[in-house]
């Protein structure tokens, strides 16, 4: 087993993480085509979900011809461009905020959603900000 993977033994958690992983892969794919949607952060979150739930899905994502380069680029630079950070934080908080306010009725789920939003926002802010030129050079080489 890959040393990066820490697959949970809790069956329910594994299923939830797989569902969340595919949800974030979907958002990442949408982000490729929509300039206002981030791609990299959603794919990183998906990879994190799969790293804790499914070795098969994790390996598929990081070796994928199209999606894997976003994750590899993040790993190599250990950061994100400022524009990508801002868009990611805005989209994350809009989506979770909308869900928590309008779509979810259970208080504990609302609290969980807001906790996730706060945690991911803090994480994104703490990432190193890298220049967009470094990213463009890497994508032109691949």
Find, among 8, 43, 5, 40, the residue nearest to 23 by Cα: 43
Q: Please tell me the predicted confidence (pLDDT) of residue 84.
A: 77
Q: Kindly report, residue by residue over 19-34, the tens digit of the pLDDT.
A: 999 999 999 999 888 7
Whose tokens are 């979900």? That residue is: 49
Percentage of the chain beyond pLDDT 90 is 37
pTM > 0.75: no
**Separation of alpha carbons 140 and 24, rounded Å:** 25
Q: Please tell me the predicted confidence (pLDDT) of residue 135.
A: 54
Burial (CB count <10 Å: 0-12, 13-18, 19+), residue 51: buried
Whose tokens are 């208080």? That residue is: 107
Task: Please check whether residue 14 is in contact with residue 51, taking contact to mean a CB–CB distance below 8 angstroms.
Answer: no
Better-predicted residue by pLDDT, 32 or 18: 18
Q: Is the pLDDT confidence value at 140 over 60?
A: no
């Amino acid at each position: 087993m890959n040393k990066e993977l820490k697959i949970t033994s809790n069956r329910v958690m594994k299923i939830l993480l797989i569902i969340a992983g595919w949800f974030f892969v979907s958002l990442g794919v949408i982000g490729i085509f929509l300039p206002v949607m981030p791609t990299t952060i959603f794919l990183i979150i998906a990879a994190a979900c799969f790293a804790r739930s499914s070795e098969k899905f994790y390996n598929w994502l990081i070796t994928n011809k199209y999606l894997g380069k976003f994750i590899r680029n993040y790993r190599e630079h250990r950061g994100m461009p400022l524009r990508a950070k801002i868009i990611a934080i805005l989209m994350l908080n809009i989506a979770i905020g909308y869900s928590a306010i309008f779509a979810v009725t259970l208080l504990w789920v609302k609290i969980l959603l807001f906790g996730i939003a706060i945690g991911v926002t803090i994480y994104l802010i703490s990432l190193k900000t890298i220049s967009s030129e470094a990213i463009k050079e890497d994508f032109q080489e691949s």
